[in-house]
């Protein structure tokens, strides 16, 4: 019997990639979200549900083996959809890149999800999930490290409306301040981010980056790895694209390329793991669908709220994505 997976936000840019990937891998997607008209254009198994209607969410989730939340801003959607997943007793996975929303998921649902024996995996996407898998792989037999650095080499960045809205919500939540993870906790500040030259491996090579371009990795990585300093960086060109109000939205088949370079340091030693590929939104689909497949087949190390590197065998997970990611030595 084919397993059904509810996709909340199925009509969004990333949601469409996820629906396609689920079908490709033999799952039956239940299309859910807030816009019935746009959902019906994607398929027949449509169950619209306002995020503030628990009954509608329960009906939409009925019979599903798992739920994938692709609907931002996750500050609004994550809580209610996780609540519905816990009521249904099924795993929840999302693609949230919002730092505060991911931190909320760990803080609010850790005990309840563990007690219910339900897997809740936030940020199982390009931002948050991929770097966590790479950092966990780079750590190897280390049980702790002093620093983790995540450098994003994006050739360009055409943000979706959802990305822009999520950024706006996060900015409002932190009163326009920037955030860093230092001394084992999130810290907010107003200083301008510096730029530096990051030594990306080939084929990208050294590039100018915005330092402390903080992403969801500051939640996922230290959630299970004892690393008190976590920094992330973004190529200047991509950061400028994101900041420009007239940068167009992405289209399927984007020519965007990426290289994610993760360095962990302990004492005087350094370890590295990197991966390259195309289209940060498209690659989130195989990441999140592989996560669902592993949860449903019991290939997990824990239950409750857990990031990708905690709940999965990180090196094996990355190898399983060889059709979508090239791992760099």
Apex 279 CA angle, 23 and 231, nearest 5: 120
Between CA 290 and CA 13 the distance in angstroms is 19
Dig out the tokens for 143 from the structure.
């049980």
Q: What is the DSSP string of 174-197?
A: TTT-EEEEETTEEEEE-SPPPEEE
Select from 174, 166, 83, 158 the least CA-distant residue to 120: 83
Same domain, 137 and 267: yes
Same domain, 43 and 157: no
Same domain, 26 and 109: yes
- DSSP SS3 for 13: helix
Apex 213 CA angle, 326 and 195, nearest 5: 100
Same domain, 81 and 154: no
Q: What is the DSSP string of 101-138?
A: HHHHHHHHHHHHHHHHT-EEE---SIIIIIHHHHHHHH
Same domain, 312 and 323: yes
Confidence at residue 1, expressed as pLDDT on a 0 to 100 scale: 53
Torsion of CA 210, 213, 217, 223, to 10 degrees: 120
Same domain, 296 and 267: no
Q: What are phi and psi of 195, to 5 degrees?
A: -115, 155
pTM for the full model?
A: 0.97
Name 245's Cβ contacts closer than 8 Å, sequence gap at least 6.
none
Same domain, 98 and 139: no
Q: Which domain holds residue 61?
A: 4-125+283-328
Q: The CATH number of the domain where 306 resides is what?
A: 3.40.50.720
Confidence at residue 285, expressed as pLDDT on a 0 to 100 scale: 98
Same domain, 109 and 145: no
Same domain, 139 and 100: no
Between CA 259 and CA 116 the distance in angstroms is 38
Q: Kindly give the confidence (pLDDT) of every residue in the chain, 329 residues in length, as a single tens digit, with 9 standing for 90 and above.
A: 579 999 999 999 999 999 999 999 999 999 999 988 889 888 779 999 999 999 999 999 999 999 999 999 999 999 999 999 999 999 999 999 999 999 999 999 999 999 999 999 999 999 999 999 999 999 999 999 999 999 999 999 999 999 999 889 888 999 989 999 999 999 999 988 899 999 999 989 999 999 989 999 999 999 999 999 999 999 999 999 999 999 999 987 778 999 999 999 999 999 999 999 999 999 999 999 999 999 999 999 999 999 999 999 999 999 999 999 999 97
Select from 86, 89, 96, 98 the least CA-distant residue to 122: 96
Q: The CATH number of the domain where 246 resides is what?
A: 3.30.360.10
Task: State the total domains in the chain.
Answer: 2
Same domain, 139 and 22: no
Confidence at residue 159, expressed as pLDDT on a 0 to 100 scale: 95
Pairing of strands 304-305, 119-121: parallel
Q: Which helix (H) or strand (E) holds 76?
A: helix 74-88
Same domain, 153 and 267: yes
Same domain, 101 and 15: yes
């Amino acid at each position: 019997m084919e397993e059904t997976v509810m996709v909340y936000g199925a009509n969004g840019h990333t949601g469409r990639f996820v629906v396609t990937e689920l079908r490709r891998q033999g799952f039956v997607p239940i299309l859910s979200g807030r816009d019935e008209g746009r959902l019906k254009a994607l398929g027949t198994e449509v169950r619209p549900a306002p995020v503030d209607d628990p009954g509608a969410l329960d009906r939409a989730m009925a019979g599903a083996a798992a739920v994938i939340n692709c609907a931002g801003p996750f500050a609004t959607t994550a809580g209610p959809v996780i609540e519905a997943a816990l009521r249904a007793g099924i795993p929840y996975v999302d693609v949230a890149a919002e730092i505060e929303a991911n931190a909320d998921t760990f803080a609010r649902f850790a005990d309840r999800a563990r007690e219910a024996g339900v897997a809740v995996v936030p940020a199982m996407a390009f931002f948050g999930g991929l770097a966590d898998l790479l950092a966990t792989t780079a750590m190897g037999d280390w049980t702790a490290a002093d620093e983790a650095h995540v450098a994003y080499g994006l050739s360009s960045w055409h943000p979706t409306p959802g990305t822009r809205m999520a950024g706006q919500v996060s900015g409002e939540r932190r009163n326009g301040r920037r955030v860093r993870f230092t001394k084992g906790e999130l810290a907010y500040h107003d200083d301008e981010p510096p730029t530096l030259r990051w030594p990306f491996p080939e084929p990208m090579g050294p590039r100018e980056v915005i330092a402390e371009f903080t992403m969801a990795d500051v939640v996922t990585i230290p959630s299970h790895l004892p690393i008190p300093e976590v920094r992330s960086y973004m190529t200047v060109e991509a950061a400028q694209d994101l900041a420009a109000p007239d940068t167009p939205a992405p289209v399927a088949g984007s020519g965007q390329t990426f290289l994610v370079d993760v360095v962990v340091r302990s004492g005087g030693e350094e370890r590295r793991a990197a991966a390259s590929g195309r289209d940060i939104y498209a690659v989130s689909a195989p990441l999140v669908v592989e996560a669902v497949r592993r949860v449903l087949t019991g290939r997990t190390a824990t239950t409750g709220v857990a990031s990708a590197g905690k709940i999965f065998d990180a090196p094996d997970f990355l190898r399983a994505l060889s059709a979508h990611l090239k791992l760099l030595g």
